[in-house]
Structure 1
Amino acid sequence: MLVAERHRKIVEVVNEKSSVRVTELSKIFQVTEETIRRDLEKLEIENLLRRSHGGAVSLQDEQSEVSYAEREITNSMEKKAIAIEAVKLIQPGDQIVLDASTTAWYMAKELPDLPLTVITNSIKVAVELSKKESVKVISTGGMLLSKSLSYVGPLAERSLSMYHVNKAFISCKGVHIEGGLSESNEWQALLKRQMMAISDQTILMADSTKFGVRTFAHITDIQEVGCVLTDFKIDESYSKALEEKGVEVRTVMVQEKTK
């Protein structure tokens, strides 16, 4: 395969998958990982993709929201494992806020029926928690984003400002040591910033593909996060860099799907 053809196909794969690892590309194109890294460097210069820690992410529709259905099946095993670990951090009587991420929805499904107060901007999280009699659910209201089934905007932000919680459980699209947390949508970024502002502690739930990624809208600096929950595939150097910033990192094992 000619280099130009490989480059074209790499961009196609990245756009199709949204994000892909160097190891995976190396296997697909049967070239060394070093060759793939050089390819990605050239393609990033040409503004055809963005390199991330250990791979690449697509630039297509970077500022638009990904549909909930698509997010639900992306790295679902990792998100479920992270959600199960997050639930372990919740105690009876806690007051928490959950964002509109699919990981937060998995959390809502895993939460036992404990006396809790949960504030959320997610329709799906609110519906899931409505099945638990002991959980008090407060919805932010606001402007509905149909793709993510979430409320955002000034009304949602003002609603959050009325409360104080023990813990905020949030996710995001990109986690970068220098660039901090980021989202593809400015409305979501602003709301997550407000969620962190009303909380004693922020727990970031992010699978390993999100590290080294910077997207459109900045949420906050990485030092503002108290704890990161991620999967065991996170690069050790990135985990160490987070800990040097004073951020606790907890990694979870992911049970592979059985055929």
Structure 2
Amino acid sequence: MLVAERHRKIVEVVNEKLSVRVTELSKAFKVTEETIRRDLEKLEKENLLRRSHGGAVSIQDEQSEVSYTEREITNSLEKKSIAIEAVKLIKPGEQIVLDASTTAWYMAKEMPDVPLTVITNSIKVAVELSKKEQVKVISTGGMLLPKSLSYVGPLAERSLNMYHVNKAFISCKGVHIEGGLSDSNEWQALLKRQMMLISDQTILMADSTKFGVRTFAHITEIGQVSCVLTDSNLDEAYSRALEEKGVKIQTVGVSP
């Protein structure tokens, strides 16, 4: 395969899967990981994709919402594993807030039926939790984003101001040591920031492909996060950088 053809196909794969690892591309194209890294560097300079730790992410429609269907199949094993560990951090009787991420939905599916109060801007999370009799669910309301089935906007932000919670569980599109947390959608970024402001602790749930990435809308600085839950593919350098900023990090193994 010619180099130009490989580059074209790499961009196609990244745009189709939204994010992909160097190891996957190396196996798919039967070249070394170092070759793939050079390919990604060149393609990033051409503004065809964005490199992330361990791989690359798509920059197509970066400021628009990604549909739930697409997000469910992107790094789903990592997200499920992270969600299982996140549920273990919840104590009966607590008040928590969950964002509209796929990982939060996986959390809702895994959550035991115990006394809890959960605030969320996600329709899918609310519906999942409605199956649990002891869980009190509060929806933010607001402007509906149909692709992500979530509420955002001034009404959603004002409704959060009425509450105080023990823990906020959020995800985001980008985690950057200097640039902080970011999201592709400005409305979501503003709401996640408000979720953090009303909580005693913020637990960030982000798979390793999100690290080293900066997207459109800034949420907050990385030091504002209490704990990071990620998968075991995260580079040790990022773990050290987070710990230097006083952020606790917990990596989880990925179960098939």
Shorter-chain TM-score bucket reads: over 0.9
Q: How far apart, in 1, do the equivalents of 2:64 and 2:20 lie?
A: 19
Tell me the secondary structure at the aligned position of residue 97 of structure 2. Answer: strand
Q: How far apart, in 2, do the equivalents of 1:58 and 1:231 lie?
A: 20
Q: How far apart, in 1, do the equivalents of 2:186 and 2:159 lie?
A: 18
Q: How far apart, in 2, do the equivalents of 1:57 and 1:101 lie?
A: 17
Q: How far apart, in 1, do the equivalents of 2:103 and 2:13 lie?
A: 25
Q: What is the match of residue 251 of structure 1?
A: 251
Tell me the secondary structure at the aligned position of residue 212 of structure 1. Answer: coil
The answer to whether residue 74 in structure 2 is matched with residue 68 in structure 1 is: no
Deviation of the 1:37 alpha carbon: 1.6
Q: How far apart, in 1, do the equivalents of 2:177 and 2:23 lie?
A: 22
The answer to whether residue 171 in structure 2 is matched with residue 171 in structure 1 is: yes
Q: How far apart, in 1, do the equivalents of 2:76 and 2:210 lie?
A: 14
Higher mean C-alpha displacement, 153-162 vs 20-29: 20-29
The answer to whether residue 196 in structure 2 is matched with residue 190 in structure 1 is: no
TM-score, normalised to structure 2's length? 0.97
Q: What is the match of residue 242 of structure 2?
A: 242
Q: How far apart, in 2, do the equivalents of 1:35 and 1:135 lie?
A: 50
One-letter amino acid of the structure 2 residue matched with residue 34 of structure 1: E
**Aligned residue-pair number:** 256
Q: What is the match of residue 118 of structure 1?
A: 118
Deviation of the 1:173 alpha carbon: 1.0
Deviation of the 1:2 alpha carbon: 2.2
- Kept in 1, the 8 Å contact 2:18–2:74? The answer is no
Deviation of the 1:118 alpha carbon: 0.8
Q: What is the match of residue 31 of structure 1?
A: 31
Q: How far apart, in 2, do the equivalents of 1:22 and 1:78 lie?
A: 16
Q: What is the match of residue 181 of structure 2?
A: 181
Which deviations, in whole Å up to 9, do the C-alpha atoms of 1:80-131 show, x marking residues without a partner? 1111111111111101000011111111111111111111101111111111
The answer to whether residue 100 in structure 2 is matched with residue 100 in structure 1 is: yes
Q: What is the match of residue 130 of structure 1?
A: 130
Q: What is the match of residue 162 of structure 1?
A: 162
Supply the RMSD in Å over aligned alpha carbons. 1.1
Q: How far apart, in 1, do the equivalents of 2:21 and 2:60 lie?
A: 17
One-letter amino acid of the structure 1 residue matched with residue 142 of structure 2: G
Deviation of the 1:29 alpha carbon: 2.0
Q: How far apart, in 2, do the equivalents of 1:33 and 1:237 lie?
A: 19
Q: What is the match of residue 41 of structure 1?
A: 41
One-letter amino acid of the structure 2 residue matched with residue 92 of structure 1: P
Which deviations, in whole Å up to 9, do the C-alpha atoms of 1:129-187 show, x marking residues without a partner? 11112111111000001111100000000000111111000011111111111111000
Q: How far apart, in 1, do the equivalents of 2:133 and 2:9 lie?
A: 51
Q: What is the match of residue 17 of structure 1?
A: 17
Structure 1's unaligned 5+ residue stretches are none
Q: How far apart, in 2, do the equivalents of 1:253 and 1:210 lie?
A: 17
Q: How far apart, in 2, do the equivalents of 1:177 and 1:140 lie?
A: 30
Q: What is the match of residue 56 of structure 1?
A: 56
Higher mean C-alpha displacement, 153-162 vs 125-134: 125-134
Tell me the secondary structure at the aligned position of residue 138 of structure 2. Answer: strand
Q: How far apart, in 2, do the equivalents of 1:102 and 1:233 lie?
A: 19
